[in-house]
Structure 1
């Protein structure tokens, strides 16, 4: 700790302060008193500023690395689905495709189990999964928000990963916060416009929200992607979903045309892929 004499000697050695020593003794002492009184306050403010700049989003999340043993991702997805479904009104339940929603939630869980870049991120994802198993989606949403942001900032080559993170956020919000889910699904197709899955999920949500024109446009994009890739699965899925929109609008003739595109394919493998078609009976011939 410096004494007052040492402080004054050090001050005299600082260039540009010679004018100070030309002042009267009373003025000099008063000036130094103000400076020394302000020192603790300034130090406190600077300390707060430094701490704020050093904080990152993930550092604000309390992570407990002691997580329970993982269960099968399919079973966990089914549990999360039932936890979210029980909060819906009965009328809302009929418009949801159970198998497809479980598939989307399973993808969320698989995303939390993907290899991470750091041990801290690995622990973060594990804790998010543990909270998800308890019915709490907050930590999983925070995790994928950070994943999306990180990959967007990384540039074009990471946009596909960012879009996937946004689709997972959409799945977490789909049942109980559809307007929030819409925002994420729209971001996903903006970043990855060639994703049939992204457009398909967006179409489902738009149909649920009553935007029939938007839903049909999204399903048409699914069809175009399927045709471009010669992927029959997505072509037929889009036909079924367009038929669903036509049914809602009362256009039975157009719905029948699209259903017929599907029903001429009777192979078991093709039918197994139709998890996105809740309005088609599995026994249809």
Structure 2
């Protein structure tokens, strides 16, 4: 099979920038996720788990989850969210063990816990559903204890929501909504509701829930709670493409976490600030934040976050053209995720290593890795990962000259990105569709898609993406004979690449400008 580099050298100028630009951006966002997952456990360990503390059980349950719920974009995954999920499951176990102390509920609660840690939460859900409904009825029977009964009902609904969150988002949503209605001053209820609404793509409602958390933090002078709210509000702003707004919230959270000396929170804020700077095209700034996060994560021994840090540093190295450095970071991330049994993290690593193989010309090897990543992402219902995998498979098909299949995969990716409101992903897919159409000689459609990509990148303030689209549009103008227009667009692209700091692309665009009027 022809090597990718040989194939690349024989391309026209516009196809070179099209294909090269595609791989500069295609997986950048995929590695940005923070994962906090541990080795899964087998059912034959049930006896040991019953002897474990509620926290130990919760951690293992969170890591073993094999549900099909949709997740947020990798770029917005929060270690804090995973910690909060673990605490919610810990509360479930504590609730069951409290019931085990009473003769009338001991046997039923023990059986529910055994089945829960073995992977079946039906009996535990039924227990908390009945408690919630019973306490709600009791609250209407007497005024003296009405408020206490409501709070206990809300607690049972939160526990039911935590259980249902793993496999039935609608049941979880109803439970969390009931909990905040009964106990509107409980921050955990609003926080859990916000996470679920985010996952369901209901970002405006999620933002309202997190703002309730913020109000409770302000009214109780709980600054740690305020930091939690700021972090999640930053994620919502980032998803919506408001990078400045997202950064402002992360900085507010960072200030509080520094005051509290809360290292986990500081590392998470540094990481997300790195994501913001990466999207904006400030590669050096992003790298500095990722290194700060990595330093703290190493100190506190948080391996899962270290894997995410290494992966994101690999993306920076790849974008700067340092494939050896990128590959080294990706392998470090993969080794940690494999050690932790973190399949979701491994999927990101497979995809990133696939990009390296693609650039090196091993299309068959890259395709194997992309398919491995896709298999895992489908297993976990990780739509943002699936979108990236479909996009990469489309790039492979384009390199092989199968443009019909390339467009098919790209459209599948775009459909998911739209569903998730992932503007960065949408920009990448529009640009990819533009290259596919241009390669087929359809310059009108190519320009349409590239301009849609440029419009989205401008909205995000994503300089790297803007540089790619200006260059693509410039080369389209050159094909159409508009050399002055081509020069203007290429100069715009060159300036942006210099700001971002991508030497390989600076050299390439300078070459296009030098050859512009000689052809």
TM-score by length of 2: 0.39
**How is 1:44-55 mapped onto 2 (pairs within 5 angstroms)?**
none
Q: Distance in 1 between matches of 2:162 and 2:134?
A: 19
Residue number among 257, 262, 280 corresponding to 1:270 in the alignment: 262
Q: Distance in 1 between matches of 2:109 and 2:261?
A: 35
- Indicate if the aligned counterparts of 1:237 and 1:274 stay in contact, CA closer than 8 A: no
Aligned to 2:123: 139
Aligned to 1:182: 173
How many Å apart are 1:178 and its aligned residue?
Answer: 1.2
Taking a change above 3 Å as real, the CA distance of residues 100 and 93 of structure 1, as seen in their structure-2 partners, is: farther
Consecutive unaligned residues of structure 1, counting only runs of 5 or more, are 1-66
How many Å apart are 1:101 and its aligned residue?
Answer: 1.6
Map Cα deviations across residues 109-133 of structure 1 (whole Å, 9 max, x no partner).
0110115684121221111111112
Map Cα deviations across residues 71-111 of structure 1 (whole Å, 9 max, x no partner).
22222212222332x34489679547432222211111011
How many Å apart are 1:150 and its aligned residue?
Answer: 1.6
- Indicate if the aligned counterparts of 1:163 and 1:188 stay in contact, CA closer than 8 A: yes
**How is 1:108-119 mapped onto 2 (pairs within 5 angstroms)?**
108-115=92-99, 118-119=102-103
Aligned to 2:84: 100
Aligned to 2:228: 237
Aligned to 2:204: 213
Q: Distance in 1 between matches of 2:266 and 2:180?
A: 22
Q: Distance in 2 between matches of 1:110 and 1:274?
A: 29
Map Cα deviations across residues 35-79 of structure 1 (whole Å, 9 max, x no partner).
xxxxxxxxxxxxxxxxxxxxxxxxxxxxxxxx9553222222122
Taking a change above 3 Å as real, the CA distance of residues 279 and 175 of structure 1, as seen in their structure-2 partners, is: farther
Map Cα deviations across residues 130-173 of structure 1 (whole Å, 9 max, x no partner).
11121110110011011111211121221111111111111111
Q: Distance in 1 between matches of 2:55 and 2:154?
A: 22
- Indicate if the aligned counterparts of 1:189 and 1:199 stay in contact, CA closer than 8 A: yes
**How is 1:46-65 mapped onto 2 (pairs within 5 angstroms)?**
none
- Indicate if the aligned counterparts of 1:100 and 1:275 stay in contact, CA closer than 8 A: no
| Paired residue secondary structure (1:114) | helix
Greater mean alpha carbon deviation, residues 269-278 or residues 198-207: 269-278
Are 1:82 and 2:63 an aligned pair? yes
Larger radius of gyration: 1
Taking a change above 3 Å as real, the CA distance of residues 209 and 101 of structure 1, as seen in their structure-2 partners, is: same
Taking a change above 3 Å as real, the CA distance of residues 275 and 198 of structure 1, as seen in their structure-2 partners, is: farther
How many Å apart are 1:264 and its aligned residue?
Answer: 2.1
Are 1:126 and 2:110 an aligned pair? yes
How many Å apart are 1:279 and its aligned residue?
Answer: 4.6
Aligned to 1:228: 219
Consecutive unaligned residues of structure 2, counting only runs of 5 or more, are 1-45, 140-145, 275-289, 297-519
Taking a change above 3 Å as real, the CA distance of residues 280 and 254 of structure 1, as seen in their structure-2 partners, is: closer
- Indicate if the aligned counterparts of 1:237 and 1:276 stay in contact, CA closer than 8 A: no
Greater mean alpha carbon deviation, residues 257-266 or residues 214-223: 257-266
Please state which structure has a larger fraction of its residues in helix: 2
Note the aligned Cα RMSD (angstroms).
2.9
